[in-house]
Amino acid sequence: MDKKSIQWNDFYDIDWKQDVTLSVNQLFAVAAKRLYKPCDTLNCIGKAFDVLQKVTVKNHTQWSVVFDIFNKIVYFKNAKREETIKLNLADFDFESNKKVEILDIQSATSVNTMSQLKLYTPDINREYIFKAFNPLVDSRFFSTQIPSTLIEAYVRYPGTLNSNELKSN
């Protein structure tokens, strides 16, 4: 049997009419090929975003995130802006019993990002979850409707977490 090498250099090289699992694996192959060479931290952040751009699903990908685990910094871009937004984990207080805060990454900007945090509520979470799922359902990205009970489970999930239990693990 003659094995032919298939080039997956870009998202658009992937035949989405094939098995979806194969297509997703091809996306990982594209990313791995593009990240093969080592680089310094700043170049790696930019390179990682370049790779994510290559595997972006137009009209579906809403944000991209890159984690700098060594420096404890999270970088992300949302679909509405080209700017890179940076969250330094050193700026967060993980030990206190403060109320949970969230960041709307779709409207976030790189200017004074920490001041854009707001208190978490289940209602805000429900709004964000429906904003995330509705376009995917409407565009038929999912082959079936998502049961409302599943969506409500996503809404309720953060309320099931106990920070004291998480700290002891």
Does 151 reside within a domain? Answer: no
Nearest to 163 by CA among 99, 102, 92: 99
Does 28 reside within a domain? Answer: yes
Does 135 reside within a domain? Answer: no
Most confident of 50-54, 66-70, 127-131: 66-70
pLDDT at 13: 54
Does 36 reside within a domain? Answer: yes
**Chain segment 78-113, per-residue pLDDT in tens:** 877 778 999 999 998 887 777 888 998 888 888 889
Q: Give percent of the chain above pLDDT 70.
A: 67
User: Quick check: 3 pLDDT over 50?
Assistant: no
Does 99 reside within a domain? Answer: no
Number of domains in the chain: 1
Does 11 reside within a domain? Answer: yes
Does 9 reside within a domain? Answer: yes
17 lies in which domain range? Answer: 1-56
DSSP string, 71-96: TTEEEEEETT--SPEEEEGGGS--SS
Report yes or no on whether pTM surpasses 0.75: no
Residue ranges of alpha helices (H) inside 19-109 are 20-34, 41-54
Per the CB < 8 A criterion, the answer to whether 105 and 131 are in contact is no
Q: What span, in angstroms and rounded, lies between the C-alpha atoms of 154 and 62?
A: 18
Does 158 reside within a domain? Answer: no
